[in-house]
Amino acid sequence: MTIYDIAKEAKVSPATVSRVLNHSSHPVKQELRERIIEASKRMGYIPNLQARNLKNQTSTSIGIIIPSIANPFYPSIVRGIEDEIVARNYHMIISSCDRNIERTNYSIENMLAVNVQGIISIYMDEVPQGLLKLTERGGTALNVVSNEARFPGCIRYWWTKWRNVSLL
C-alpha cells in the first residue's frame, strides 16, 4: 500500500495525499483531507517509518540495552522508558545482551544501522565501542549505571536521577 494507491482511491494527487498524511502546513481543503484520511484507513495504510526517516534524515527510534531480559527487574525499567517514548510518538528497539561485550557491540551496530536517535544503556559493566560511535556521530547515549563505567560524550546518571533526562 502506497500513497499512490490512496491517491487513486481518493481521486487526488499523490502530493495531496503526502501533505495530509505527513501533517504538512500546506493548505488542503477539509473535504479532501477527510476523503484521504478515510481512504487510508479503509485501505489499511501504514506509513513506512524507515523510508520517512531516511527522506527527512531524522529518526524516531530509541535503542534500549539491558543486561538480561530474564531478570524481572529490567523489564520494569524498560516499561517506564516505553511509557515516555510512546507518549512522544517514538518507538524503541530493545536488546538483551547478557553482559557480553561482543553481543552488546553487535546490538549497538544494528541499532546504528537503523539510525537510532539515541541509546539508553542500563547497568553496563564496561563501555562498548558502539556507544562511542553513536556519540561521535551526534547521537545521544544515556548510561544508567550502578558502577563507575563512563566515557566521553555519554550522559551518565544514577538510577534515581534518570527520569530527569530527555533524549527526545
Looking at the structure, give the CATH architecture of the domain made up of residues 55-164. 3-Layer(aba) Sandwich (3.40)
Show Cβ contacts of residue 149 under 8 Å, excluding neighbours closer than 6 positions. 124, 125, 126, 127, 143, 156
| Distinct helix (H) and strand (E) counts, the chain | 7, 5
Q: What is the pTM of this model?
A: 0.65
Per-residue pLDDT tens digits for 56-67: 777 788 999 998
Class of domain 3-47: mainly alpha
Reported as a pLDDT band with limits 50, 70 and 90, residue 146 is low
Separation between Cα atoms, residue 53 and residue 59, nearest integer Å: 5
Is the pLDDT at 159 greater than 70? The verdict is: no
pLDDT of residue 166: 45
> According to the model, what pLDDT value does residue 153 have?
54
The full set of domain ranges for the chain reads 3-47, 55-164
- Amino acid symbol at 18: S
Whether residue 30 is predicted with pLDDT greater than 90 in this model: the reply is: yes
Q: What would the pLDDT profile of 72-120 be if each residue is shown by its tens digit?
A: 888 888 888 899 888 888 889 999 988 888 898 899 989 988 888 888 8
Q: Residue 163: is its pLDDT beyond 60?
A: no
> Tell me, what's the pLDDT at 148?
55
